[in-house]
Amino acid sequence: MTTEQHTFTAEVQEILNLMVHSLYSQKDIFLRELISNSSDALDRLRVEGHSDPALVPEGELEIRLEVDAEARTLSISDNGIGMSRGEVVENIGTIARSGSREFLSALRQKQAGEQDAATADLIGQFGVGFYSTFMVAERVSLVTRRAGTDEALRWESTGDGTYSLDPADRAYAGTTITLHLKPTDEEDGLRDYTDQFVLREIVKKHSDFVAHPIRMKVEREEPVLDNAGNPVEGVLPKKVVEDETLNSMKAIWIRSKSEVSAEEYHEFYRLVSHDWQDPLATIPAAMEGAFNARILLYIPSKAPFDLYHRERVTKSVQLYVKRVHIMDDWKALLPEWLRFLKGVIDCEDLSLNVSREILQHDRQVKAIRSFAVKKTLEAIDRLKRDEPEKMRELWREFGAVLKEGLAAAEDDYRDRLLGVTLAASTVGDELTSLDDYLARMKPDQEAIYFLVGNSLDAIRQSPLLESFAKRGLEVLLFTDPVDEFWLEREPSYKDKKLVSISKGEIDLGETPEDADGEDASPPPALDGLLQALRTYLQDDVKDVRVSGRLTDSPVCLVGDANDLSPQLEQMMRQLGQDPPKTKRILEINSTHPFIGKLSELEAGNAPTSALEIYARMLYGQAILAEGGTLPDPGAYSRVLMDVAQLAVGVAPSSSEPSGPATDANDNDSATTDEPSTAPPSDA
Ligand code: ADP
Q: Which atom of ligand 1 is nearest to the CA of 33?
A: 7
- Centre of ligand 1 to C-alpha 75, Å, is 16
- Centre of ligand 1 to C-alpha 140, Å, is 14
Given a cut of 70, whether residue 683 has pLDDT beyond it is no
- Quote the pLDDT of residue 658: 47
The CATH code of the domain at 421-500 is 3.40.50.11260
Residue with CA nearest ligand 1 atom 14:
91
Residue with CA nearest ligand 1 atom 8:
129
CA nearest 18: which of 121, 111, 96?
121
Residue with CA nearest ligand 1 atom 21:
37
Residue with CA nearest ligand 1 atom 13:
91
| Per-residue CA distances from 537 to 268, 406, 579 (Å) | 63, 37, 21
CA nearest 194: which of 100, 74, 78?
74
Residue with CA nearest ligand 1 atom 10:
91
- Centre of ligand 1 to C-alpha 37, Å, is 5
Domain boundaries, the chain: 4-217+240-245, 252-383, 421-500, 522-677
What one-character DSSP code corresponds to residue 110? S
Residue with CA nearest ligand 1 atom 1:
129
d(CA 617, CA 554): 11
* Residues at CB less than 6 angstroms from ligand 1: 33, 37-38, 41, 78, 80-83, 91-92, 96-97, 99, 129-130, 175, 274
What does R_g of the chain's alpha carbons equal in angstroms?
A: 35
Ramachandran angles phi, psi of 584, nearest 5°:
-105, -175
Q: What is the three-class DSSP state of 222?
A: strand
- Centre of ligand 1 to C-alpha 82, Å, is 10
- Centre of ligand 1 to C-alpha 36, Å, is 9
CA 406 to chain CA mean position, Å = 17
Q: What confidence tier does 657 reach under pLDDT thresholds 50, 70, 90?
A: very low
Ramachandran assignment for 428, one of left (phi > 0), alpha (psi -120 to 50 degrees), beta (any other): left
The CATH homologous superfamily of the domain defined by 4-217+240-245: Histidine kinase-like ATPase, C-terminal domain (3.30.565.10)
d(CA 504, CA 547): 11
- Centre of ligand 1 to C-alpha 627, Å, is 46
d(CA 145, CA 41): 12
d(CA 363, CA 583): 48
Which tens digit of pLDDT belongs to each residue from 514-546? 544 444 455 568 899 999 999 999 999 999 999
Which tens digit of pLDDT belongs to each residue from 23-79? 777 888 899 889 988 998 998 998 888 889 899 888 899 999 999 999 999 999 999
- Asked if 119 and 107 count as a contact pair (C-beta separation under 8 A), the reply is yes
d(CA 569, CA 578): 9
Q: β-strand 152-157 against 137-145: which pairing, if any?
A: antiparallel
- Centre of ligand 1 to C-alpha 470, Å, is 60
- Centre of ligand 1 to C-alpha 23, Å, is 24
Helix boundaries (H) for 96-174:
98-108, 115-126
Residue with CA nearest ligand 1 atom 12:
91
pTM over 0.75: no
d(CA 433, CA 419): 8
In degrees to the nearest 10, what's the CA dihedral of 521, 527, 529, 531?
Answer: 160
Ramachandran angles phi, psi of 141, nearest 5°:
-125, 150
Pocket residue to mutate for ligand 1, from 40, 176, 342, most atoms within 8 A of Cβ: 40
Residue with CA nearest ligand 1 atom 23:
38
Helix boundaries (H) for 164-222:
196-207
The angle subtended at Cα 641 by Cα 635 and Cα 645, nearest 5°, is 145
Given a cut of 70, whether residue 549 has pLDDT beyond it is yes
Which tens digit of pLDDT belongs to each residue from 341-352? 999 999 888 877
The angle subtended at Cα 70 by Cα 66 and Cα 72, nearest 5°, is 60
- Centre of ligand 1 to C-alpha 125, Å, is 18
- Asked if 157 and 164 count as a contact pair (C-beta separation under 8 A), the reply is yes
- Centre of ligand 1 to C-alpha 462, Å, is 50
Residue with CA nearest ligand 1 atom 5:
129
- Centre of ligand 1 to C-alpha 106, Å, is 22
The CATH code of the domain at 522-677 is 1.20.120.790
Ramachandran angles phi, psi of 188, nearest 5°:
-90, 5
Express the helix, strand and coil content of the chain in percent, nearest 5 each. Answer: 40, 20, 40
Range picked from 100-109, 515-524, 603-612, 641-650 for highest mean pLDDT: 641-650
- Asked if 550 and 592 count as a contact pair (C-beta separation under 8 A), the reply is yes
Q: What confidence tier does 676 reach under pLDDT thresholds 50, 70, 90?
A: very low
What one-character DSSP code corresponds to residue 667? T
CA nearest 479: which of 501, 452, 457, 450?
452
DSSP structure string for 263-305: HHHHHHHHHHH---SPPSEEEEEEE-SSS-EEEEEEE-SS--T
- Asked if 573 and 567 count as a contact pair (C-beta separation under 8 A), the reply is no
Residue with CA nearest ligand 1 atom 20:
37
Residue with CA nearest ligand 1 atom 18:
37
- Centre of ligand 1 to C-alpha 127, Å, is 13
Kindly tell me the burial class for residue 422, based on how many C-beta atoms sit within 10 Å of its own C-beta (0-12, 13-18, 19 or more): buried
Q: Which atom of ligand 1 is nearest to the CA of 131?
A: 6
Domain 252-383 -> CATH class: alpha beta
Which tens digit of pLDDT belongs to each residue from 308-367? 765 655 668 888 887 777 777 788 889 989 999 999 999 888 877 677 777 878 888 889
- Centre of ligand 1 to C-alpha 11, Å, is 17
Pocket residue to mutate for ligand 1, from 55, 77, 130, most atoms within 8 A of Cβ: 130
Considering only residues 310 and 84, tell me which one the structure prediction assigns the higher pLDDT.
Answer: 84
Which tens digit of pLDDT belongs to each residue from 383-408? 999 999 999 999 999 999 999 999 88
Single-letter amino acid code for the residue at 106: A
Q: Cβ of 347: how many Cβ atoms within 10 Å?
A: 25
CA 331 to chain CA mean position, Å = 17
Q: Which atom of ligand 1 is nearest to the CA of 78?
A: 23
Residue with CA nearest ligand 1 atom 2:
37
What one-character DSSP code corresponds to residue 525? P
Helix 527-536 crosses helix 608-625 at what angle (to 10 degrees)? 80
Residues ≥6 apart with Cβ < 8 Å to 160 = 16, 20
Q: What confidence tier does 217 reach under pLDDT thresholds 50, 70, 90?
A: very high
- Centre of ligand 1 to C-alpha 83, Å, is 9
Q: Which atom of ligand 1 is nearest to the CA of 38?
A: 23
Task: Compute the residue count for the chain.
Answer: 683
CA nearest 619: which of 515, 544, 680, 566?
544
What is the average per-residue pLDDT within 421-433?
Answer: 95
Q: Which atom of ligand 1 is nearest to the CA of 130?
A: 7
Given a cut of 90, whether residue 582 has pLDDT beyond it is no
Pocket residue to mutate for ligand 1, from 11, 31, 37, 123, most atoms within 8 A of Cβ: 37
- Centre of ligand 1 to C-alpha 35, Å, is 10
Single-letter amino acid code for the residue at 271: L
Q: Percentage of the chain with pLDDT > 70?
A: 87
Give the neighbor-by-neighbor strand order of the sheet with 555-558.
541-546, 584-588, 555-558
